């Protein structure tokens, strides 16, 4: 076969131009794609290997951060349960002791605080010591039952941080030791959490909980099982100190300034290359979520990419072999294919000669007509495709402009897709706003798109003389007109044009509307901010007058300040309703009414418009967050009843009875069975998994709620705090094991997830009044 192929090589020397071209082209077409394909495959495979290696490194640092974040979060939340305090519904466990004069002679108080510290320490992993610091007494009670003065405590750094605390608390990065403190002589991370009267606002802080965490144990949890011998995972803070490391010998050391700078400037989870401990390494960096830390996963560059060169060599060898095979096949194919080409050429020549002799040759005409028809069909398809593409580009531009205005797109490349001239440095933003409920009553939703086209035509006709016009419907009831120009429009000129546009829309569409106007002097760059200003101006329509043009820079400062107060209270009402806090929402509404009664500067018509809008906002909030749907007929009846109220007192009574009263009944009917079932499922989960790690955060995640909601509901339905319930149930299980089995106390403590047998014994004795051993002896004695 191969000899037969090489026997055809002399054909290349024959004086046949077409045959030579065919053979050459076939060789080129067969070998060049193989080479390109080989290079492409090489690039793909090597890139894939590198990407997989980088992705693996990313996964390692991501997992490390998640594990550490969960660990620290559990610790912080446990402390929060004992330090959180609210005047309205919950008194913090430690708040009552912070203002007392602590003394070793006050045995009851001393014992109660020690028990609290013991409970905190038993619920935390990798904790060395938990201390209670009273600012009033200037004394510290440790979890190891030591009662110390500030000088005896010998950790001035923690005490200074505690006295300067905010409500959020503070972390002190890992310290390699506390030389003056004889209690602690190892690597520690310190968490200080304030004891305050109310954690929801700025209050006086009267004490603190100081927790010392084992940095070595936490560092060991960073590492996960992997395939790299040179893998290092560590956490470094802003100053370059290594806070955690999977090798405890590196904890407390510092990175070099160039390495620290590279880590700070690195993009999240994007690989960077640097020399670590003299070894060229590839690192992935991820900033911590709540601390000024950087999680770093490092693998030596040689080990991470060791397979790339082997793959390249293998693929190049395969590509060379394929090129050789393709060349042989191409030579055979070229010599074989030329035979029909030659026959076709002879046929074409015969056809041409016959056509010259007889112009009525039907076959020739039909072939040409067929080709011509095909070409015309392709041209028509191409034209239709161009039209479709143009419509698609218009839709994409509209979508891009919408997303850019609301701030979802910020990349400079996206702005290049918008068909604005680079010379259009001035863009006027004219926002047309209708009341959605009034608009829906006159124009159903399907007709609002026709309304948009009508407004678009009016805008182009009225504003066309002032610049390039772009129109956009942000959502039904809100329409935007942009006027782009290379020169700045005078304020009076812009006012005249805006008023003309508003009057034309009112005249032809028979709708009351409000125009809010702003502008950008930086072209597209300042357009989102200008739209935000126009949107802010539009919010004033309910406290001014609907049928007018509003310039935000011309608003009365007194009116603006009063409106901002009203708007803030409105948001508070909606926020409380989202959380189903009806009483709190009604209290905020009463506060709003008190402000209006004290002397609002708004006309009565505007006040009625504001309350109409508030009714719509309340029921949209209930529909989204609580699935309570208000029919259009019911909404119109409410608005009709509201318009009949003549005084602010009547409006307040109407909201109390017809709005908040009805909402309270709906939510009560809807929520009680669901909440009871959720708590029943939670207690069942505790009963089935009492011998596993159970935390309030884990249970809140299962219920898709936050920890405060779960804690409040659990207390409401069971009469116990979550932590106390778990401890009580585990102690009951421990009693059963002590009575019914011969398990060692150490094994029972391990099964019930206690960190140490001493912690289990303390908790058991606190709950039952005797130690586990005494309880087992007492039970055996009773049996006898």
Question: DSSP string spanning 392-451?
Answer: HHHHHHHHHHHHHHTTS---HHHHTTS---TT--EEEEEEEE--HHHHHHHS-HHHHHHH
Give the residue among 185, 81, 63, 172 at the shortest CA–CA distance from 123.
Answer: 81
- Bridge partners (DSSP) of residue 188 are 175, 214
What burial class does residue 71 get, using C-beta atoms within 10 Å of its C-beta: 0-12 exposed, 13-18 middle, 19+ buried? middle
Q: What is the CATH number of the domain that holds 189?
A: 3.30.450.20
Token code pair at residue 672? 């009680």
Instruction: Tell me: do 88 and 211 sit in the same domain.
Output: yes
Q: What is the CATH number of the domain that holds 755?
A: 1.10.10.60
Q: What was the pLDDT predicted at 325? A: 78
Instruction: Tell me: do 719 and 741 sit in the same domain.
Output: yes
Token code pair at residue 686? 């505790």
Q: What was the pLDDT predicted at 329? A: 73
Strand order in the sheet with 242-245: 242-245, 232-237, 293-300, 279-287, 272-276
Is there a domain that residue 55 lies in?
no
Is there a domain that residue 117 lies in?
yes
Is there a domain that residue 2 lies in?
no
- Separation between Cα atoms, residue 75 and residue 357, nearest integer Å: 100
Helix (H) or strand (E) holding 518: strand 514-520
Range 660-678 average pLDDT: 71
- Bridge partners (DSSP) of residue 690 are none
Instruction: Tell me: do 545 and 564 sit in the same domain.
Output: no
Is there a domain that residue 591 lies in?
yes
Instruction: Tell me: do 613 and 544 sit in the same domain.
Output: no
- Separation between Cα atoms, residue 18 and residue 341, nearest integer Å: 10
The per-residue pLDDT for range 685-695, each reduced to its tens digit, is: 888 888 888 88
Residue 599's SS3 state is coil
**Which of 554, 583, 613 is the endpoint of a domain?**
554
- Separation between Cα atoms, residue 172 and residue 289, nearest integer Å: 16
Highest mean pLDDT out of 200-204, 248-252, 378-382: 248-252
- Separation between Cα atoms, residue 455 and residue 264, nearest integer Å: 51
The model's pTM:
0.39
For 126, phi and psi rounded to 5 degrees?
55, 40
Is there a domain that residue 24 lies in?
no
- CA torsion angle for 270, 275, 277, 283 (degrees, to 10)? 10
Instruction: Tell me: do 731 and 666 sit in the same domain.
Output: no
Give the range among 52-56, 667-671, 722-726 with minimum mean pLDDT: 667-671
The torsion region of residue 479 among left (phi > 0), alpha (psi -120 to 50) and beta comes to: beta
The per-residue pLDDT for range 114-171, each reduced to its tens digit, is: 888 888 888 888 888 899 888 888 888 888 888 888 888 888 888 888 888 777 788 8
Instruction: Tell me: do 508 and 543 sit in the same domain.
Output: yes
Token code pair at residue 624? 């989204």
Range 505-510 average pLDDT: 80
The per-residue pLDDT for range 272-301, each reduced to its tens digit, is: 888 887 788 888 888 987 778 888 888 887
Q: What was the pLDDT predicted at 276? A: 80
Q: What was the pLDDT predicted at 547? A: 58
Q: What was the pLDDT predicted at 15? A: 43
Q: What was the pLDDT predicted at 782? A: 62
Using the 8-state DSSP alphabet, how is residue 488 labeled?
Answer: P
Token code pair at residue 310? 């082997």
Token code pair at residue 140? 């510290």
Range 415-429 average pLDDT: 76
Residue 549: count other Cβ atoms within 10 Å of its Cβ.
21
Range 40-46 average pLDDT: 75
Instruction: Tell me: do 703 and 745 sit in the same domain.
Output: yes
Q: What was the pLDDT predicted at 784? A: 56
- Separation between Cα atoms, residue 399 and residue 473, nearest integer Å: 10
Instruction: Tell me: do 578 and 550 sit in the same domain.
Output: no
Instruction: Tell me: do 452 and 550 sit in the same domain.
Output: yes
Is there a domain that residue 523 lies in?
yes
Token code pair at residue 156? 């001035």
Q: What was the pLDDT predicted at 436? A: 62
Query: pLDDT > 90: what percent of the chain?
Result: 0
Is there a domain that residue 773 lies in?
yes
Instruction: Tell me: do 535 and 630 sit in the same domain.
Output: no
Range 391-412 average pLDDT: 76
More confident call, 207 vs 420: 207
Kindly provide the b/e burial profile for residues 388-418, where b requires at least 16 CB atoms within 10 angstroms of the residue's own CB: eeeeeeeeebeebbbebbeeebeeeeebeeb
Q: What was the pLDDT predicted at 363? A: 41
The per-residue pLDDT for range 342-375, each reduced to its tens digit, is: 555 555 454 444 444 444 444 444 444 544 566 6
Q: What was the pLDDT predicted at 422? A: 75
- Separation between Cα atoms, residue 241 and residue 39, nearest integer Å: 45
CB 192 within 8 A of CB 160: no
Q: What is the CATH number of the domain that holds 521?
A: 3.30.70.270
Residue 657's SS3 state is helix
Q: What was the pLDDT predicted at 360? A: 43
Q: What was the pLDDT predicted at 365? A: 43
**Which of 218, 236, 259 is the endpoint of a domain?**
218
Domain that holds residue 537: 420-554
Using the 8-state DSSP alphabet, how is residue 580 labeled?
Answer: T
**Which of 218, 233, 260 is the endpoint of a domain?**
218
CB 718 within 8 A of CB 683: yes
The per-residue pLDDT for range 58-114, each reduced to its tens digit, is: 888 888 888 888 888 888 888 877 777 666 666 667 777 777 777 777 788 888 888
The DSSP-derived string for 287-302 is: E-SSSSEEEEEEEEHH
Q: What is the largest CA-CA distance in the chain?
A: 131
Range 635-654 average pLDDT: 78
Q: What was the pLDDT predicted at 358? A: 44
Token code pair at residue 483? 């006027």
Mean confidence (pLDDT) of the chain: 76
Token code pair at residue 260? 């620290």
The per-residue pLDDT for range 213-241, each reduced to its tens digit, is: 888 888 887 777 777 777 888 898 888 88
Instruction: Tell me: do 709 and 777 sit in the same domain.
Output: yes
Is there a domain that residue 598 lies in?
yes
Sequence-distant (6+) residues with CB within 8 A of 84 are 90, 92, 199
Instruction: Tell me: do 637 and 698 sit in the same domain.
Output: no
For the chain, the domain total comes to 4
Range 558-578 average pLDDT: 74
């Amino acid at each position: 076969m191969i000899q037969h192929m090489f026997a055809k090589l002399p054909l290349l020397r024959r004086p046949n131009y077409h045959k030579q071209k065919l053979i050459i082209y076939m060789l080129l077409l067969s070998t060049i794609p193989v080479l390109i394909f080989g290079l492409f495959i090489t690039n793909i495979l090597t890139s894939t290997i590198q990407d997989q290696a980088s992705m693996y490194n990313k996964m390692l640092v991501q997992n490390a951060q998640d594990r550490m974040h969960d660990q620290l979060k559990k610790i912080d939340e446990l402390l929060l349960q004992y330090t959180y305090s609210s005047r309205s519904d919950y008194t913090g466990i430690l708040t009552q002791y912070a203002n007392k004069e602590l003394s070793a002679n006050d045995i009851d108080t001393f014992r109660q605080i020690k028990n609290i510290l013991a409970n905190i320490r038993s619920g935390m992993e990798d904790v060395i010591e938990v201390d209670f610091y009273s600012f009033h007494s200037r004394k510290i009670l440790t979890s190891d039952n030591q009662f110390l003065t500030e000088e005896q405590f010998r950790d001035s750094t923690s005490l200074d941080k505690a006295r300067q605390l905010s409500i959020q608390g503070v972390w002190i990065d890992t310290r390699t030791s506390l030389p003056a403190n004889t209690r602690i002589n190892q690597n520690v991370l310190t968490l200080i959490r304030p004891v305050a009267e109310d954690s929801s606002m700025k209050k006086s802080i009267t004490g603190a909980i100081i927790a010392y965490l084992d940095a070595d144990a936490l560092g060991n949890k960073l590492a996960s099982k992997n395939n790299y011998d040179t893998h290092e995972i560590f956490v470094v803070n802003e100053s370059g100190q290594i806070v955690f490391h999977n090798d405890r010998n590196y904890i407390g050391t510092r990175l070099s300034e160039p390495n620290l700078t590279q880590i700070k400037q690195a993009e999240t989870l994007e690989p960077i290359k640097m020399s670590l401990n003299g070894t060229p390494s590839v690192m992935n960096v991820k900033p911590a979520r709540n601390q000024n830390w950087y999680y770093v996963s490092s693998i030596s560059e040689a080990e991470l990419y060791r397979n790339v060169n082997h793959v390249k060599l293998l693929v190049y060898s395969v590509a060379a072999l394929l090129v050789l095979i393709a060349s042989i096949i191409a030579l055979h194919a070229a010599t074989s294919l030329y035979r029909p080409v030659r026959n076709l050429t002879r046929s074409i020549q015969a056809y041409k000669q016959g056509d010259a002799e007889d112009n009525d040759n039907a076959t020739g005409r039909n072939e040409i007509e067929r080709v011509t028809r095909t070409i015309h069909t392709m041209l028509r398809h191409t034209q239709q495709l161009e039209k479709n593409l143009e419509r698609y580009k218009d839709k994409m531009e509209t979508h891009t402009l919408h997303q850019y205005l609301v701030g979802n797109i910020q990349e400079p490349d996206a702005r290049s897709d918008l068909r604005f001239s680079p010379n259009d440095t001035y863009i006027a933003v004219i926002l047309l706003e209708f009341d959605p409920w009034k608009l829906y009553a006159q124009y159903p939703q399907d007709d609002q798109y026709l309304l948009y086209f009508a407004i678009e035509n009016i805008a182009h006709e009225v504003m066309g003389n002032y610049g390039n016009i772009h129109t956009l419907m942000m959502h039904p009831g809100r329409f935007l007109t942009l006027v782009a120009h290379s020169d700045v429009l005078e304020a009076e000129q812009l006012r005249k044009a805006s008023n003309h546009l508003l009057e034309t829309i009112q005249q032809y569409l028979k709708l009351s509307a409000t125009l809010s106007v702003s502008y950008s002097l930086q072209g597209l760059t300042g357009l989102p901010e200008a739209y935000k200003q126009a949107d802010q101006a539009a919010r004033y329509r309910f406290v001014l007058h609907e049928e007018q043009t509003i310039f935000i820079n011309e608003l009365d400062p007194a009116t603006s300040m009063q409106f901002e107060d009203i708007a803030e209270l409105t948001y508070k009402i909606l926020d409380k309703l989202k959380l189903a806090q009806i009483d709190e929402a009604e209290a905020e509404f009463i506060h709003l009414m008190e402000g209006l009664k004290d002397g609002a500067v708004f006309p009565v018509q505007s006040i009625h418009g504001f309350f109409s809008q508030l009714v719509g906002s309340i029921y949209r909030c209930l529909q989204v967050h609580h699935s309570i749907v208000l029919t259009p007929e019911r909404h119109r009846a409410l608005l009709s009843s509201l318009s009949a109220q003549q005084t602010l007192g009547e409006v307040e009574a109407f909201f109390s009875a017809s709005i908040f009263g009805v909402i309270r009944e709906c939510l009560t009917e809807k929520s009680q069975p669901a909440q009871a079932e959720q708590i029943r499922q939670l207690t069942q989960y505790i009963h089935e998994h009492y011998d596993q790690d159970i935390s309030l955060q884990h249970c809140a995640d299962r219920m898709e709620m936050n920890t405060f909601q779960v804690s409040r509901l659990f207390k409401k339905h069971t009469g116990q705090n979550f932590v106390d319930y778990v401890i009580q149930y585990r102690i009951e299980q421990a009693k059963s094991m002590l009575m019914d089995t011969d398990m060692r106390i150490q094994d029972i403590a391990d099964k019930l997830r206690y960190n140490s047998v001493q912690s289990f014994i303390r908790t058991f004795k606190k709950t039952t009044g005797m130690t586990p051993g005494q309880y087992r002896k007492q039970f055996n004695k009773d049996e006898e």
